[in-house]
Amino acid sequence: MALETIDAAAKRGVLALQEYAVLSARALGDLFRRPFYRDDIFLQADIIGVGSLPIVILTGFFLGGVLALQSASTLAQFGAAAFTGQLVSFSMIKEIGPVVTALMVSGRNASGMASELGSMIVTEQIDAMRALGTDPLKKLVMPRIVATIVMLFFLVIISDAVGICGGGYVSVFMLGQDGSQYFHTSYQSLEFADVFQGLVKPIFFGFIIATIGCFYGMKTRGGTQGVGRSTTQAVVWSSILIIATDFMISRVLIGIFGR
């Protein structure tokens, strides 16, 4: 009995992976096929990007402040408190900024995509679109993928900048450090590899957030309870994949650039 349960779970997992791969491949193919639904892309960009801006700014600022507090106390033990800015900028740009921003956007928008598309499935709006000759993947999924990738890229840049400023605020006004020294060490030690690593990650993270949210939304079954399950699964799996993908990207880029 236990073996049958494991076998059924494995089959469901493989089937779900196959369906996700097909949806992602079709959505990528739709990027180069007319019509492009530009209005839908701009609408989703406003919802995803502008709507997520307040939470990204707040989390970025306080993350930078916490990093400055923690790193300054540790570095002071070795007489290296002057390098607080360098540690904050490295941490925000290479790792914490992209990952935390992606997790915030995932919690806000992957769940929103899953619930919105799931509600359309339950109320048979998707079937009505197919009956009218409109491709639901082209109309609903592709604009969300494009908007999420583009807007997450800029949200990460904003989060990095605000985080470094938050660390500077804490370092100068709470820890009594020199502001000029903090900001000089923040950017002088950065290299192309550091910035490149921080800006590549949101491209992959945005794709994961949009495709996972749309995937679980499109496979919603079981009425309003199914919508709730799809929303939960979208947030959980997008968060897991973001962290796993972050590890793999970091490993590859550190192997290439050596830092």
Mean pLDDT value across the chain: 88
Place of tokens 């499935």: 121
The answer on pLDDT for 74 being more than 70 is: yes
**pLDDT at position 4 over 70:** no
pLDDT higher than threshold 80 for residue 191: yes
Closest CA to 53 of 146, 147, 158, 150: 158
Mean pLDDT calculated for residue range 29-56: 88
- Residues 141, 218 contacting (CB under 8 angstroms): yes
Residue 229 has pLDDT above 60, yes or no: yes
How many other C-beta atoms are found inside a 10 Å radius of the C-beta of residue 51?
15
- Residue range 165-183, pLDDT digits in tens: 999 999 888 888 888 888 8
| Tokens representing residue 247 in the block | 């590890």
pLDDT band at 16 (very low <50, low <70, confident <90, very high): confident
- Return the pLDDT at 221: 83
Q: Is the pLDDT of residue 12 over 60?
A: yes
Confidence at residue 190, expressed as pLDDT on a 0 to 100 scale: 84
How confident is the model at residue 1, as a pLDDT?
A: 47
pTM for the full predicted model: 0.90
Q: Rounded distance, CA 221 to CA 209, Å? A: 21
| Statement: residue 224 has pLDDT above 60 | yes
Per-residue pLDDT tens for 136-166? 888 888 899 999 999 999 999 999 999 999 9
Residues 6+ apart with CB under 8 A from 23: 137, 141, 211, 214, 215, 218
- Give the tens place of pLDDT for each residue, 96-130: 999 999 999 999 899 889 988 888 888 888 888 88
Strands (E) in 161-222, as ranges, are: none
Q: Tell me the helices (H) and strands (E) count for the chain, helix number first.
A: 12, 0
DSSP, residue by residue, 157-174: HHHHHHHHHHHHHIIIII
d(CA 71, CA 54): 26
Say if residue 24's pLDDT is above 90: no
